[in-house]
A and B are shown apart, each in its own frame.
Chain A
Amino acid sequence: MQYFVDLLIVGLSIGMVYALVALGISFIYSGLDIVHFAHGEIYMLGAFMGVVLLKYTGMSYPLLLVTAMILTGLIGVAIERLFYRRLTRAGGGYTFAGMGMIICGFGMSIVLQNVAYLIWGAKPLPFPVSFGMPLEFGEVVLPASYLWIVGAALVLMAALHLFLKRTRLGLAVRAVAHNKEIAYLMGINVPLMISVLFGIGCALAAAAGVLVGPINYVQVLMGIGILIKAFAAAVVGGFGSLPGAVLGGLLVGITESLGAGYLSGNYKDIYAFVLLIAVLMVKPSGILGVSVKVKA
């Protein structure tokens, strides 16, 4: 029992990390109709940002998390503005420009990896944050870092939800995601909202990077694995659906952890895709996905 609970907690916390990255990918997809293939590298940049901030400012962990999110979000905004905007202006999704966007995303991923190599080198860097003693609940012992991941991710998800549902700006972002032309006619500054949207998506990935850093090392290639897992999570939950991304992330994380614990740790990376195939066989649009996208 103890073993099962341990696995569940590990799965849940790594699932939250997948969920945050998947949330960013889904959010950007729902708004810009593009699949952002460099999102894993944004996550990597976020983690490095955390390491750098910790080293040079020594700020507290929550403050560090928020600062890294903001800085990485701004980098994301700059990348979108300078490189992607030219392509997305001509259309996303299944259009010709959408295909170009996929290639551009891959290219950006390679560029960002190499920029990171130049700055931080190939050696994994430690992210030395101390969370204090593990917490004990009777039989179950919880390392505080896992609690931090789950707690911070939940807070961020709630904040995103409130932003989208309760604020004027959030309403405008949703309107832009549904239909840009009509949003223009509402007097919304559409290009600005697209920047906001992309920045938020990148900030979520950065948060995932900062959260995962202390339990893992931070290294240049960390984005590749997570991108594929986050895609699996987003597709399992229903691509473009935000609650779906969270649900998919948790399912992928828990499946992976239980699979590694009970079956074999050698095949850890396969379980997520077994889950993906199983879900797609039963419901091709994903668990919370709608088969026909509601677009005005």
Chain B
Amino acid sequence: MLSIQGVEAGYGSVQILNGVSLQVAKGQMVALLGGNGTGKSTLLKAISGLIKPWKGSIAFDGERIDGLRPDLIVRRGLVQVTQGKEAYPALTVEENLRLGAFVRRDRAGVRRSLEKVYEYFPVLAQKRSQFSATLSGGQLQMLCIGRGMMSEPKMMLLDEPSAALAPQVVLEIFRIIGRICREGMTLLLVEQNVRMALLLAEYGYVIRDGVVHIEGPADKLIDDENVRLSYLGGTVAGRDVAAALRR
């Protein structure tokens, strides 16, 4: 569904991505892992169209999308779920969600999507008319995921949904992401929380210095000595966490 071939990109004269290639099949959840400053966010910006790749190609649904304006990429059904802090603080929860459905014109459909998001995240329904500045970090992340769902995309790019959240909240967010995937959504999950991401995803890419450093099926990666040493910091995730995620 998403096919990235040898993408190079950067800001000004500073090159960040040195030829990244990556594939996501329909209905699959793929994890894109790496620490700070490895090029994850730059790659996301290139996919979403916020920056233009210097070289290489990005294809979505069989058509090239690199160089397209970001709003046209959203219209094709590829939406980026921002980090929670990127919700609009001065807009209410419902206004934020309605913005997510900006590309749609069918009022009844938007209404249904809104109900669906409120069913996923009951806390958002309670706070629908509050300014999102009053929400907690976890609620903001839920709001951004919900906002991404509002356009009924074919694929979602998740930008570090666990960033700066308490462990208990992270678990809840990941459980919801798992549910979204099981219901047929294609997902590219960009994460620093390597362990959680690999427990949830089918396939993983580890990016370092702007290139794909290691890739493989998630269960292989999680046992991989290199990945563990570089990113997991020791022991493999406990079974209880894995079980909690599947719930």
* Residue B100 CB within 8 A of the other chain: yes
CB atoms of A186 and B87 under 8 A apart: no
Q: A187-B102, A187-B103 are in contact. Are A182 and B88 (CB under 8 A)?
A: yes
Contacts of A85 on B, CB cut-off 8 Å? none
CB atoms of B50 and A184 under 8 A apart: yes
CB atoms of B89 and A185 under 8 A apart: no
Contacts of A294 on B, CB cut-off 8 Å? 89-90, 133
Residue of B nearest to A192 (CB): B71
Q: A171-B95, A174-B91, A179-B88 are in contact. Are A188 and B133 (CB under 8 A)?
A: no
* Residue A296 CB within 8 A of the other chain: yes
Contacts of B103 on A, CB cut-off 8 Å? 187
CB atoms of B80 and A178 under 8 A apart: no
Give the contacting residue for A175; candidates B70, B74, B82, B88; CB below 8 A: B88
Give the contacting residue for A182; candidates B82, B98, B133; CB below 8 A: B82
A165 to B173, CA, bound (A): 31
* Residue A189 CB within 8 A of the other chain: yes
CB atoms of B99 and A171 under 8 A apart: yes
* Residue B151 CB within 8 A of the other chain: yes
Contacts of B26 on A, CB cut-off 8 Å? none
Q: A186-B99, A187-B151 are in contact. Are A296 and B74 (CB under 8 A)?
A: no
User: Contact residue range for chain A?
Assistant: 10 to 19
Chain A's nearest CB lies how many Å from the CB of B185?
A: 17
CB atoms of B86 and A296 under 8 A apart: yes
A182 to B50, CA, bound (A): 10
CB atoms of A296 and B88 under 8 A apart: yes
CB atoms of A190 and B71 under 8 A apart: yes
Residue of B nearest to A183 (CB): B99
A179 to B147, CA, bound (A): 16
Residue of A nearest to B151 (CB): A187
CB atoms of A188 and B87 under 8 A apart: no
Q: A171-B95, A171-B98, A175-B99 are in contact. Are A184 and B70 (CB under 8 A)?
A: yes
Q: Contacts A184-B71, A187-B75, A296-B88 given; 12 further ones with Cβ under 8 A?
A: A168-B98, A171-B95, A171-B99, A174-B91, A175-B91, A183-B99, A184-B69, A187-B71, A187-B103, A189-B71, A296-B86, A296-B87
Can you list 12 A-B contacts with CB-CB less than 8 angstroms, sorted by A residue number?
A171-B91, A181-B50, A182-B82, A182-B88, A185-B50, A185-B80, A186-B71, A187-B74, A187-B151, A188-B99, A188-B102, A296-B85
Residues of B that sit less than 8 Å from A by CB = 48-50, 69-71, 74-75, 79-80, 82, 85-91, 95, 98-100, 102-103, 133, 147, 151
